[in-house]
Structure 1
Amino acid sequence: MIDLFVQSAFADNLALTFFLGLCTFLAVSRRVETAVGLGIALMAVQSITVPVNYLIFAYLLSPGAWSWMGFPEIDLTFLRFIAFIGVIAAMVQILEMVLDRYMPALYRALGIYLPLITVNCAILGGSLFMAERHYDFVQSAVFGVGSGFGWALAIIGLAALRERLVYADLPDGLKGLGIAFIVTGLMSMGFSAFSGVNLP
């Protein structure tokens, strides 16, 4: 399970390997404080939605899931996108209410990007990878936590670097998103170095 966590957080990082969720990744990575808040929010949503979506997929949507009711031929896998997005939307709504109630400053800082977690392709990608790779419940939970942690680590690292780069003497054409894309590419190469790591 440690191998799966490390693999999902580093070698298969959703932001830096599969480039999922880059719209939010680049937009919210200007300040470390906001990046930490969004990273924790995304990790919380990912950690809950991947195992919950596993249960829905395994016991309601996969072929033969309804055989206990006498319908072994029913295959509802075509509904997985709608089901997964519904679970993600519900979790983000709950998270929004919690942040608005208990952390209003972070809620205001995240602004429009918090509801956009609902359509963040990194979160949907985590659930789709879980279904495609045929993980069991425990593997789904580990993958959810690992992939959420990896995405959070990547956005916090990028935000820390971008805060420093404000003071760098950059050419005008590279300021802003230009240097952010270059740094993201360099971080991606660094994270890909973990692909050959085998833990005992």
Structure 2
Amino acid sequence: MEHLELFFKSIFIDNMVFATFLGMCSYLAVSKKVSTAVGLGAAVIFVMAITVPLNWLLDQYLLRDGALVWLGPEYASYDLSFLSFIMFIATIATMVQLVEIVVEKFSPSLYNSLGIFLPLIAVNCAILGGSLFMQSREIESLGLAFNYGVSSGIGWFLAILAIAAIREKIRYSNVPPALRGLGITFIITGLMAIGFMSFGGMLTGGDEEEPAKVETAEVLTESESDIAQNTKVIE
């Protein structure tokens, strides 16, 4: 249940684009064609699925306070958390380099269409944000870290795919001259953000109602027992 809730919340409620506005540069620049958006979105999913679990391992066994205790008791007081940004970015850059080599080998047309934005995944704030959010939320297991990386990547993929499909259709629409280009794109992005955030009530509503019902039932039971005892005394 925890995995499923994290999966859907990362895609819809905590979407990297619509909730935290991360990765907006690539989101706006590479969303003019669906084919290009699909390629970049798939690359982002792959990179996040690999880098978030790897960075979780680095954080658990190397970076956080006391993480080096596995080397011996004398290392228990070491805190290397100040190296988090450097280590996370190094891991991301390595994976992006791998993706670039694979895409160039098997899909030269996609490689050419993505252009400079493929190597720029290394400095895409959505990729680094995934690892930093994983660290700040104190995700407890490697499986949850992998789940969070994949679902966050899927959320970013859905966002860029949706805006690319809309921008392809909107070329044939009569958009007011003052809103053409980035103006109408930002308006559509805001409307899609409202739609994605509306899933919040479906995933979080009703969790706190059951304890209240239990407490009410206990109070009623106690009141009934008191009434019964008072009745016996009167009799």
Give the TM-score normalised by structure 2: 0.83
Match of residue 150 from structure 1: 155
Partner SS for 2:67: coil
Partner AA of 2:133 in structure 1: F
Matched, 1:119 2:123: yes
Q: Find 1:178's aligned residue among 174, 180, 183.
A: 183
Residue 134 of structure 2 is aligned to residue 134 of structure 1:
no
1:4 aligns with: 6
Aligned residue in 1 for 2:231: none
The equivalent position to 2:80 in structure 1, one of 69, 76, 80, is 76
Partner of 1:35: 37
- CA distance in 2: counterparts of 1:195 and 1:76, whole angstroms: 36
Q: Which amino acid aligns with 1:83?
A: M
* Matching of residues 86-125 of structure 1 within 5 Å: 86-125=90-129
1:137 positional shift:
1.1
Contact 2:9 2:203 in 1 (8 A): no
Provide the residue aligned with 2:52 in structure 1. Answer: 50
TM-score under structure 1 length normalisation: 0.98
Shift of 1:75: 0.3
Structure 1: which amino acid aligns with 2:89?
A: I
Cα shift readout 1:19-43 (whole Å, capped 9, x = no counterpart): 0000110010111010000000001
- Between the two structures, name the one with larger relative contact order (CA 8 Å, sep ≥ 6): 1
| Structure 1 unpaired stretches of 5+ | none
Gap runs ≥5 in structure 2: 208-235
What is the CA–CA distance in structure 2 between the aligned matches of 1:105 and 1:194, rounded to whole Å?
A: 37
Deviation (angstroms), 1:179? 0.5
State the alpha-carbon separation in 2 of the partners of residues 58 and 19 from structure 1: 27
Q: Equivalents in 1 of 2:200, 2:153: separation in Å?
A: 18
CA RMSD of aligned residues (A): 1.2
Q: Which residue number in structure 1 is paired with residue 199 of structure 2?
A: 194
CA distance in 1, matches of 2:203, 2:101: 41
CA distance in 1, matches of 2:95, 2:36: 20
Count of equivalent residues: 200
**Residue-by-residue CA offset, 1:119-170 (whole Å, 9 max, x unaligned):** 0000000000000000021111100000000000010000000111101101
**What amino acid maps onto 2:110 in structure 1?**
L
Q: Deviations over 1:96-122 (max 9, x none)?
A: 000111111111110000011000000
Matched, 1:65 2:40: no
